[in-house]
Amino acid sequence: MTIDLSPINIFDGILGGILTGTIYALMATGLSLIFGVLDIIDVAQAGYVILAAYLSLVLEQAFHIDLFLGLLITMPLMFGLGLLVELVFIRPIKRDRTQLSILVTFGIGLLIEGLLGIKFGTTEQELKAWYVTDGFKVANFYIAYVYLFAFILAVVLLAALFFLLYRTKFGRSVRALMQNRTAAQLIGINVERVSAITFAIGVALTAAGGMAYGATTPFNNNSWYDIITRLFAIIILGGLGSVPGALIGAIIMLVTFDVTSAVGFTVWSPVVFFGALALLLLFRPQGIFGQVATRKQ
Amino acid sequence: MKQQPLSARTLKIAWPLLLLAAATVFPLVADPAMGNVAVLTLLYAAAAVSWNIFSGYTGYISLGHATFFGFGAYTMAIISVNQHLPGGFGLFLLVPVAGVVAALVAIPIGWILLRTRGHAFVIITLITVFIFQLLATNLRGLTEGSAGIFLPFTGFDPDWFLLPFYYIELGVLVLAVLVSWYIRNSKYGLGLLAIRDDEDRAEGLGVRTGGSKLIALIISAFFMGMVGAIHAYFLGAVYPQQVFDPALTIIIVLMAFLGGLGTLSGPILGAVVLEVAQQYFGLNSQIGYYQIVLGALFLIVMLLLPQGIVRSLARLWNAWRVRSGAGGSPVAPERQPAVVEKG
């Protein structure tokens, strides 16, 4: 292990971190949005990431549909799945939502893992396309085009999400639900409908993130354990329920990872990040953008 | 408290003793093929009871108890290998040592993690497991990394190989249940339950919430460490992914939920039901099949029996008694106001 603290390595790390960070931001935004609106912790979110990656794989291998074009099919599919999951599994949880939701969604994640295991086995898969193998050079750092495309995709989707949240009537209902569920219901917002749609949007965003993840990382049906840890770390860092927090948290996390490995501490990069997260929690338990947890009424 | 009818009180004392007697003679009469299942069931039962001491009573759902399990397992493995200890009964003396190490580790971990509450706590505990898994993988000098450490061979006769493990686990389980029972009926335990119901109000009423939570975590970690150590010796090897395994805690959590969170007998019952089911389905281990069964089980338990078997049965039992005019006390066997109804 050689340690090289030269500026070029650090620059590589920062650039790589920002590019991969936006992919994680896509996945984490869905999680944070769902948490903020439905008050549930959706462990299955990482399962949807893997499911979406496999969907893209199938579309690409069986029908030769381009990965990014395929999103036009996978995102609506995952949106539908989100509606279904919310209706069948999330809505019936009436009491102790947060605690029970973790276990229920963990069950969903296991189901996804099991079904994918039966269909595809545990062999590691990779999404293939010309832009995954081709790339360009920045400084002495080789970047595959897919990172750039995924970055653009993430920016477009996140911009669309922000527009939806802050410029439309639906977005206003969503934000009202985030602030106070009961009050939102009292002023006539259809809480169940908004919750279902938000959940489905979160899952669909995750699907886009899943495709980008699959194009940049080898995956199998067990990968969701690793992903969910990272996503959780991101939303804790950014502040639970905060959409901008998920974005910032993802970028901070991946930049930390990539800079630590670019200067030579490859195996230690997660430890450095998680250590920093633990330190942050000592001084700011609610994360960067989070609000202090108060007693529920 | 209202005086209960004599029969109910005798029943309350008689039941656990009967169960204990049954558990003691079980290995002597049961089919040897059941031995493995019985050993693992007891192990999980002890783990679920110790998890319940912290999470069930305080309401802080920890998904990080695999950390303490792992520390217990590695303590057992590292000491026995580095000191070239021979296998045999002597190694069981390391079990309490492993518990103490896990308890000591719980102090700084709890100090940091217990600053968070609710959702953040749940998530951060899960992350902790991964951090220690990574550390165990990377600190090769101490843990041999992912190659794992092999413990000394037990040297037990295959005919009764399982018996020592079975009885030592039974001992740990009984001890954990006694501690759990003592806490549940102590003033300290009431403080923990108050934290579960409403932490801010509990603090306002003079419960030292911070200290209480930390002590509960330490006690819980002590037992978890012992369980980890026994498990390591039983399997004969320790690997980072196998002991610092997030799925491990999640299964324990499911057991506690299945039986009844915060009840005394619930975690044991949950462990028995789930472990036997797991072993049964595990036998037909085709890729994916196991996860599907486990996932479906999760969904069924959480959606249909969120209060657990113990409370659901207690409710049915009470309803039956009231209907049949037996005039029983309306108090549930666990003396527990139905369930936390918050949020």
How does pLDDT run across B78-97, given as a tens digit for each residue?
Answer: 998 888 777 777 788 888 99
Instruction: Please report residues of B whose CB lies closer than 8 A to that of A232.
Output: 123-124, 126-127
Residues 20-49 of A with CB under 8 A from B: 35, 39, 41
Residue A205 — pLDDT band, cuts 50, 70, 90?
very high
Task: Look at residue A1 and tell me whether its pLDDT is greater than 60.
Answer: no
Predicted confidence at residue B209, as pLDDT, reads: 86
Rounded to an integer, the average pLDDT of B307-316 is 78
**Residue A107 at interface with chain B, using a CB cutoff of 8 Å:** yes
pLDDT of the residue at B147: 75
Mean pLDDT check: name the lowest of B50-59, B78-87, B284-293.
Answer: B284-293
Predicted local confidence at residue A50, as pLDDT: 93
Q: What is the mean pLDDT of residues B259-265?
A: 81
Report pLDDT for B331. Answer: 47
At A2, is the pLDDT very low, low, confident or very high (cuts 50, 70, 90)? low
pLDDT band at A230 (very low <50, low <70, confident <90, very high): confident
Percent residues over pLDDT 70 in chain B: 87
pLDDT surpasses 60 at B44: yes
CA-CA-CA-CA dihedral for A296, A203, A76, A65, to nearest 10: 170
Q: What distance, in Å, lies between the first and last C-alpha atoms of chain B?
A: 29
Residues A149-170: what's their mean pLDDT? 91
Question: What would the two tokens of residue B62 be?
Answer: 């920890």
The whole-chain average pLDDT of chain A stands at 85
Distances (CA, A) of B124 to A58, A258, B109, B254, B308: 35, 22, 11, 18, 25
The reported pLDDT for the residue numbered B283 is 53
Task: Between A14 and B285, name the one with better pLDDT.
Answer: A14
* B119 chain-A contacts, CB cut-off 8 A: 35, 41, 98, 240, 293
Chain B contact present for A271, CB below 8 A: yes
Residues facing B149 on adjacent strands: B238
User: Does position B5 have pLDDT exceeding 70, yes or no?
Assistant: no
Rounded-to-integer distance, Cα B282 and Cα B260, Å: 24
Residue A179 has pLDDT above 60, yes or no: yes
pLDDT above 60: residue B294 = yes
> B326: buried, middle or exposed (CB in 10 Å: 19+, 13-18, 0-12)?
exposed
- The predicted-structure confidence for A94-135, as pLDDT tens digits, reads as follows 777 777 788 788 889 989 988 998 888 888 888 888 888 787
Please report the pLDDT score of residue B214 as a whole number.
94
Q: What is the mean pLDDT of residues B289-297?
A: 79
Q: Indicate the range of A91-95, B9-13, B85-89 predicted with least confidence.
A: B9-13
Q: Is B305 on the interface with A (CB under 8 A)?
A: no
Q: Helix crossing, B266-283 with B35-51: angle to 10°?
A: 140
Query: What's the confidence (pLDDT) of residue B332?
Result: 45
Q: Do A100 and B340 touch (CB under 8 A)?
A: no
* pLDDT for the residue numbered B335: 44
Q: Are A97 and B340 in contact (CB under 8 A)?
A: no
Quote the pLDDT of residue B106. 94
Q: Does residue B339 or residue A98 have the better pLDDT?
A: A98
Against a cut of 0.95, is the pTM above it? no
Identity (one letter) of the amino acid at B229?
Answer: A
* pLDDT confidence of residue A157: 92
For residue A200, what pLDDT is reported?
95
**Pick from A211-225, A234-248, B200-214, B295-309: least confident:** B295-309
For residue A256, name the pLDDT band (cuts at 50, 70, 90): confident
Q: What is the ipTM of this complex?
A: 0.74
Name the minimum distance, in Å, from the CA of B281 to any CA of chain A: 13
In the 3-class helix/strand/coil scheme, how is chain B assigned residue by residue?
Answer: CCCCCHHHHHHHHHHHHHHHHHHHHHHHHCCHHHHHHHHHHHHHHHHHHHHHHHHHHHCCCCCCCHHHHHHHHHHHHHHHHHCCCCCCHHHHHHHHHHHHHHHHHHHHHHHHHCCCCHHHHHHHHHHHHHHHHHHHHHCHHHHCHHHCEECCCCCCCCCCCHHHHHHHHHHHHHHHHHHHHHHHCCHHHHHHHHHHHCHHHHHHCCCCHHHHHHHHHHHHHHHHHHHHHHHHHHHCEECHHHHCCHHHHHHHHHHHHHHCCCCCCHHHHHHHHHHHHHHHHHHCCCCCHHHHHHHHHHHHHHHHCCCHHHHHHHHHHHHHHHHCCCCCCCCCCCCCCCCCCCC
pLDDT score recorded for residue B163: 82
Average pLDDT over residues A144-154: 88
Task: Find out whether B243 and B232 touch, Cβ atoms under 8 Å.
Answer: yes
In chain B, which residues have their Cβ closer than 8 Å to the Cβ of A111? 291-292, 295-296, 299
pLDDT at B284: 53
Give the whole-number percent of chain B exceeding pLDDT 90: 20
Dihedral Cα A162, A167, A168, A170, nearest 10 deg: 50
Who has greater pLDDT, B42 or A287?
A: B42
* A77 has a chain B CB within 8 A of its CB: no
Spatial contact of B143 and B78, defined as CB atoms under 8 Å apart = yes
B123 interface with A at CB cutoff 8 Å: yes
* Most trustworthy range by pLDDT among A61-75, B119-133, B305-319: A61-75
User: Is pLDDT above 80 for B13?
Assistant: no
Asked if residue B253 lies in contact with residue B55, where contact means CB atoms within 8 angstroms, the answer is: yes
Q: Which of B112, B124, B343 sits opposite A96 (nearest CB)?
A: B343
